[in-house]
Structure formats: C-alpha cells, structure tokens
Structure 1
Amino acid sequence: MTSKYSSTLRQGSLIVGGEVLVVTTWRGETASTLRIALRMSCDEFADHLGVSSRGVSKWEANPEGELALKTQQLLDTALKLASDEVRARFAQLRTEAAVNDSERKTKPTFHLPRVHPIRPAPELVASLGEGLHHHYTADNLIGPRTLLPVMEAQAHTIESLTRDASGHLLTDLLQVGAGYAEFAGWLAQDSGSSTIATNWYRLALEWAEAAGDDRMAGFVLMRRSVQAIGARQGSHAAHLAQAAQRGDGPTTARVRAIAAQTEAVGHAVSGATSDADRALELAERLVTESSEAEPQMGDPSIGRYCDLGTYLQITRAKVYLELGRGDQAVDAFTKVLALLPPEYHRDRGQYLGRLAHAYALAGGPTEACAAAEEALAIAATTGSSRTIRDLRNLLRHLEPWSTTEPVMKLRNLLAGPI
C-alpha cells in the first residue's frame, strides 16, 4: 500500500496500517464501499463474489445491516486479493465516509413523521396484476435496459408483502409475484445476465408452485428451456420443454403450444431432426387447440407473443437454421419479418439477426451483413445483449469473407461501443 496509508487509522470497524487492511464487521455500507473501490456494478460485484444480485441489492438498501458470516468471509477474501490501488481507494472512501458522518452529527436533524408500511390488500394485488400486463406491452418497445430495474424493484416489494399476508390473499400475491419474478428473469436473460435470470426463474417457480399455478410453472420451465438452448444444451432444453407441457385443458393450452415449439428447437440444436419434426407436428395441433379456446385470464403468454400461428412459422425458421438449412431459413425468416407486427421492435432485431445467420449459411455475406447491421441498431436501442451476442457469433460464419468490405464494417461496428 502507498505511504499515504502507512500510519495506523481506526474508524469504526476499519483498521488500516502498513500492508494490513482489516474489516472487523462487514455491513451493507462497507460492502458497497468495496464494490465502488473495485469500480464494479452490482451485477459485476455479485459475479465477482459468487452471490446473487438480489443479495447485493439488499446490502445496498440496508447500509447498517450486519452481513451473514459466510458473506463476510467472501468479502474478506475479496479485499485480501484486491490490488494495492483498490485497497488504497477502499481505505480513502472509508476515511471520507467517516468525515462526512462526523459532519452530519454536528448538524441539526429533522425527522419526517412515521408512515405505516404498505399492507397487502386485494385491491393492491389486482393493481399489480394489471400493471404487469402493461409492462409486457412496453417490453417489445423499449427492451430490458429500462424495464429490468423497475421489475426487480416491484418483485422485491412483493416479496416483502408476502411476510404479512396469509390465506387466499397470500396465494394471490404469490401468483402475481411469480409473474413479476418470471418477467424479471426474462429481462435479465435478454440483457445477457444469465445467472441473475436463473435466480429470478427459480423464485418464480417456487412462488408458482406455492400458489398452485401450473400454467406459470410450465411457462417458467419453458423459459429455462430457452436458456438451455442459448447455452447450446439441446437435449436438456428439450427435456425442460417436455416438462413444461405436463397437464391438459384450455387454461394451459397456449403455454403447452409454445413449450412444444421450444422443444422442437432444442431437438434441432442437438441435431435430432426426426424429434424436431415430431415436436413441430405436436405444436401445430396445440396451436390449433389454443386458437379455438377462449383467452384465459392471467395467461403469462398473452401480450408476450405474436399470433401463435405466426410464432409457429418463426419456430420452423429457427429449426431450419439450427439444422443448417440455409436457403429454407432465409425464406422462412423473410416471411416472418413481413408478418411481424411493428410493435414487436425488440423481436424484429432478434429475427433480423437470425436472418443474417441464414444468409451466411446460404452463402450470401453481403445480405447477411445488411440484416446484421439493422439488427444491431435495434439491439443497441433496446439493450438486447442476447441479439448482440448472436451477431458476434455470426462473425465466425462470415470468416470465409473476412476481407470483404461489408464484413470488415460489421466487425468494426461490433467491436465499438454498443
């Protein structure tokens, strides 16, 4: 450590002396100071420590709270392994915090009157349910960058409300909460935060099971299947999608139809052509059944997907792409983009990226780069890291044309700030 911090300094629980830097008790505020000293976001800090982002958010919200012993051990290790520059910055930030705290204590304080905390009520639960569907509509227009912090905050609020609820009110609150947790998971997944997404999905599944909501439980399993597809775990994805299709009746028809399509993509990823075709045939039957049934209140797929007939065409295009059928995939994605409603802005970027891959497979690098540039513009606006990741993977398929002007331009765009 630099000589500036060579003298011994004691401030609260912090001791700095020579090369020794010890925190006797880690609290939310101390942990937040280490995060800032490391120049990390909450998500990056969570990954650095190997904890959930929800846990880091709770520390930040409760600066005086003493952290669990296991967490304190993780923070001790992080501080010990930090560079001298980070440790010096951490010490300086603690020094400034102590000075500011001392100054605050010398000033008169004013207190707002105590307000009773929010109590769960049927009207509040109904309002939360209505608000969730408005967020679904906003998702395709503005993407995860704006919505994710809002959804996480509301899910945390619902979690706190469950502590004071019981009976039917608790069941209803858990059911709505499962919707918020699932949606937060989806937004995190789309923004490229896989670990955070998984944590939200697990909470959503726990709440859905506790509320007896088979439809939401199946929908979350389908989301987990999509995650597995993104990780190129085709067989696992197909297995999860099959689990999402359990049950019958009109209430789960749409979810089962979407899950069957996800299963088909999973089989295609693993190269199981006949299984993919079988799942597509099943999906077609389920799409017909769901279109004949009345829309069900609270269905998590309503407002999230375009017409299921159009979505089936999208799935077929994905299967063609995964099976390496470039010409068929180009034709299929071109038709899909012509049918996609204009309000599905974020999805348009995703499917343009897939069209770019199809063009590359079909030997059309110029067309691939044109579609990719349009997809990148949409992904940058909505914050869809999933689409950006796919476009970066596209460069591998464009390697045979790496010296052509369109490919070099695309590579430069993807290398720059997005």
Structure 2
Amino acid sequence: MPQPSTDFGEELRKRRLEAGLSLTALSGAVHYSKAQLSKVERGLKAPSRDLARLCDAVLSADGALIALIPTVPADTPARPARGEVNEEDWIMQLSPDGTSRFQPMGRRDMMGAGVASLMTWRSDAGSRISPAAGVGMLEASRSLFTHYRRLGQTMEPGLLLPVLIAQTHTLRELSADAGTGTRRELLALGSRYAEYVGWLVQETGDERGALWWTQRAVDLAAAGGDRALAGYALVRRALVTLYRDDAEQTVALARRAQSGTLPPRIRGLAAQREAQGHALAGDLKASLSALDRARELLARQQSSSDEPVIGTMHLPDSVGMVTGWCLVDLGRPREATEELNRQLAQVGQDAVRTQVRYGVRRALAYATSGEIDHACALTAPLLDGVATVRSATVTTDLRRLARVLARYSDHPSVRQLGPRLGTLSRLSTSRGETSP
C-alpha cells in the first residue's frame, strides 16, 4: 500500500497554485473529492498512480508528478537461458479437474528421474519425412494455427495451451528429420506456435513461464535461420514490464527492438510498446512521437500469405487502439474515450478477448472522467467475456476500474455492478502451471 509522502503533496500544491486553480477547481477536473485532494497535499493521504496521472495532465507537469509516486522495485525480466532445439524433453500432465502442468527437462535429468509411463511411443529418429508429408504438415499446421488464434479469443488459455504445446513439439520433432527447406519452414512455424503459447501463458498470470516460451520461440526461429524473432522477444518482455508499471524498462526494451536490421512490423510493434512506456511516465510528446513512428513502420510492412502474422491479428488499426490506451495512462480520459470508441467499433464481435481488453479500458476512461453511469453501462455486458477468457492482463485493468468506481459506492449503477465486478476482479486466472 502506498505510504503518505509530503513530496508529492507539496509539488502538487505548488503547481496547482502556479496554475491559478483552487482545490475545488482541481477536484472538478480530476473527479476526486476536495477533501481527498486536501489530504494528499498535506501529506496525510498517499496519492494513487491514477490520481497522479490526472493531476499531471491537468497541470501540464510533463511527468514530474508521476515521477514522485514510488514504484514497487521489480527485477528486469531476465532472458531465460537458450535451449538446444532437440536436447530437451517436455513433460505435460493433464488432469480431469482442469489443472495441467508443463515441465521441460534435459535428457539426462529425464533418465535420472526414472519417470514411469503407462504408455510410450516413438518416431524413427533416423528416417527423413517425405517432401509431400512435410508440405502436408506445414499446410495443416498453418491452417490450425489460424483457428487456434481465433479460439484464443473466445476461451480461457488453460483449455488451449495443451494442444498448442503438443503442436509445437510435433513441429520441433518433424524438423529434425526434414530436408533443409522444409526444416526451415517447420521451425519457423513452430516458433510462431511457441510465441503464441508464451502470450497465452502471460494471460494466465505466469510471467516466468511466458518469458521461457518466448525464448523457446526465439531458439526455434534461430535454428531455422531467422534471427528477427529475437527482436520481437524484446517487445514481449516489454509487455511484462508494462504491466508492472515500469515505464523506464518498458521504454528501454522497446527501443532495443527497433534496430534498423529488423523487419518493419517488429519495429512498428516495438514503437507502439515504447509509446505505452512513455505514457506510463506521463511523457505526452514522446508517446505521440513513438506512435507516429509506429504508424509509419507498420505501413511499410510486407505481408506474406504463408507466414502467420506476428502480434495481434484482431486490430484493424493497432496504432489507433494503442493511442487510446496511452491517452488513459497520460491522464487524458476524455480524449481516450473518443479514440477507443472509434477503434472498438472496428473490432469483430467474435474477437471476445480483444473486445474485453480494450472495452474494459474504455470503461476505465469513462469512469476516470466522471461518467459513472456510462462506465457501468459499458462494463456490465463485458463481464461474461471477462469470465470466459480469464485474462490476467485484463484483470489488471478491471481492478483499476473497480478502484475508481469504489469512490462512488453510493451510486445506484455502481451498487448494481459492484458485486460481480468485485468477484471477477479477484478471480484467479490460472488453471495450470506452465513455468519451467
């Protein structure tokens, strides 16, 4: 829990007076009570990050007020150790109660553990697969991958992860016996599967497991001669730091992923992540500059019908949506609602996870701007989707929304929404263990 500090309160009061605003005027602008602002200024109450963002924007502090909010120290997400593509056994336990586990083990550790099995089978490691079989597996796996990503929009990660892990293993295993050209394509597709597994694992709330899978995606891609995915791994690591509210590390990782040697799409996605990091820090100019760079880079991307898209495939205008996202963190909720309204109107209704993710953020923007009835009206139809997709990242914003609405606990719409919102904001998102 944040501790009261006179530093923020003194700086807030100084900037408020310099701007010629009374406490009443500031209260009306940020939708916090005059009494609460008075306690914050006198160092009797700790400010939330949301309050700091709003005050920073209203008083044009360019991040100075946000910088005074202490953050919980967190280690930079470490890059997991590289793994040899074919020197690791994967063990998966599937339980009827929905609790599943995944554990990678070295071959020697596996033999030493003496793991008992009811059933074993093996493929002939010395025989090459025929070119026709390799092409057939590639075509089938690409088609399945598109379907799996669509399913990931409408179901919780724990139900989809076992089949995705198994498919990744199959592609990895087949690559060992394929001809050179087919091997590269099998490894490239396997890396996309592994990267998607990493994202879904993060959706369960398991950061360590997510980073492990992202590194395995890099290893598979590199084994097939593709070094570019290592750049996207930095974007994924930056997503972890983003949800830790670590603006500095988010920006640093995203900038490292914007090397001129990487494909425009990866650099564009990295620029979007950089913009989100700047938004956390309250730096409007830097955030908008990064978004402009992202739009220019993503416009230059060359699409291939054979390769799955890196990053989201459900946002018609990802830069526009991320702009709305950033405006919330920049303390500009009214501008955010306008942009998010435009962008959500373009998202397909079958993209439930995407609708929920950005829909909750839109509701947060409305609540932050004081439009409580509308915020509640937007939130209510999203809650079934929240329960369905069980996303740790969505839950982060849902908890933030619940905290804002808690300030209006006597409001009829809040009283009606409150019980279920509270339940879902406390919901555990993980039904399995996927960490190495």
The interval holding the TM-score normalised by the smaller chain is 0.5 to 0.7
Which residue in 2 is equivalent to 1:283?
A: 294
> Cα distance, 1:401 vs. partner?
0.8
CA shift, 1:302, in A, is 7.4
Instruction: Give the Å deviation of 1:147.
Output: 1.9
Aligned mates of 2:158, 2:240 — CA distance in 1: 19
- Which of 394, 410, 416 is matched with 2:417 structurally? 410
Structure 1 pair 277/301, CA: closer, same or farther in 2 (3 Å)? Answer: same
What secondary structure, in the 3-state scheme, does the structure 2 residue paired with 1:54 have? strand
Give the CA deviation at 1:358: 0.2
Task: Please say if residues 239 and 250 of structure 2, whose CA atoms lie closer than 8 Å, have aligned partners that are also in contact.
Answer: yes
Within the candidate set 98, 109, 113, 1:67 is matched to: 113
Aligned-residue CA RMSD in angstroms?
3.7
Question: What is the rounded CA distance, in whole Å, between the counterparts of 2:339 and 2:221 in structure 1?
Answer: 36
- The one-letter amino acid of 1:234's match is A
CA drift at 1:232: 1.2
Is 1:298 aligned with 2:347?
A: no
Deviations 1:76-121 (A, max 9, x none): xxxxxxxxxxxxxxxxxxxxx9xxxxxx9xxxxxx99x87558663
Residue in structure 2 matching 1:254, options 262, 265, 269: 265
Conserved 8 A contact 1:178-1:208: yes
Change (3 A) 1:306 1:193: same
Counterparts of 1:327-406 in structure 2, within 5 Å, are 327-406=334-413
Question: In structure 2, what is the Cα distance between the partners aligned to 1:349 and 1:143?
Answer: 13
Output the CA distance in 2 between the equivalents of 1:216 and 1:129. 18
TM-aligned CA deviation for residue 402 of structure 1: 2.3
Contact 1:178 1:207 (C-alpha < 8 Å) held by counterparts = yes
Correspondences of 1:226-241 after superposition (within 5 Å): 226-241=239-254
Kept after mapping to 2: 8 A contact 1:325/1:361: no
CA contact (8 A) 2:372 2:405 kept: yes
Larger radius of gyration: 1
The match for 1:85 is none
Q: Please, what TM-score do these two structures have when normalized by structure 1? A: 0.67
- Do residues 150 (structure 1) and 159 (structure 2) align? no
Structure 2 CA distance, aligned partners of 1:208 and 1:42?
27
State the one-letter code of the partner of 1:208. A
Q: Distance in 1 between matches of 2:325 and 2:406?
A: 22
* Superposition deviation, residue 404 in structure 1: 2.5
Partner of 1:11: none
Match in the other structure for 1:54: 103
CA contact (8 A) 2:321 2:340 kept: yes
Aligned residues: 326
Residues 410, 261 of structure 1: CA spacing in aligned structure 2 closer, same or farther, 3 A cutoff? Answer: same
Moved more, 373-382 or 151-160: 151-160
Q: 2: distance between equivalents of 1:248 and 1:344?
A: 33
Alpha-carbon contact 1:349-1:374 (below 8 Å) kept: no
| Structure 1 residues 345 and 129: CA distance shift in structure 2, 3 A | same
Say whether the 8 Å CA contact 1:372–1:391 is kept in structure 2: no
Structure 2: segments with no counterpart, 5+ residues: 1-92, 428-436
Alignment partner of 2:275 out of 264, 280, 303: 264
1:196 matched to 2:209? The reply is yes
Deviation at 1:285? 1.5
Q: Aligned partners of 1:306 and 1:117: how far apart in 2?
A: 43
Q: Distance in 2 between matches of 1:342 and 1:254?
A: 25
For 1:138 and 1:239, the matched residues in 2 are separated by 33
Task: Give, as a single letter, the amino acid of the residue that structure 1 aligns with 2:103.
Answer: R
Q: Give aligned-pair identity as a percent.
A: 27
Equivalent position of 1:207 in the other structure: 220
Distance 1:281 1:220 in 2: 22
TM-score, normalising length: structure 2:
0.65
Distance 1:116 1:160, change over 3 A: closer
1:351 deviates by 1.0
Relative to 1, partners in 2 of residues 1:274 and 1:303: Cα closer, same or farther, differing over 3 Å? closer
Is residue 198–residue 211 contact of structure 2 (8 Å, CA) maintained in 1? yes
Change in 2 beyond 3 A, CA 1:157/1:367: same
C-alpha contact (below 8 Å) 1:330/1:358 kept by paired residues: yes
Label 1:154 to 1:328 Cα distance change in 2 as closer, same or farther (>3 A): same
Change (3 A) 1:357 1:285: same
Residues 352 and 374 of structure 1 are in contact (CA less than 8 Å); yes or no, is this contact kept in structure 2? no
User: Do residues 133 (structure 1) and 146 (structure 2) align?
Assistant: yes
- Quick one: distance in 2 between partners of 1:246 and 1:172? 24
Bigger helix fraction: 1
Alignment partner of 1:317 out of 314, 324, 327: 324
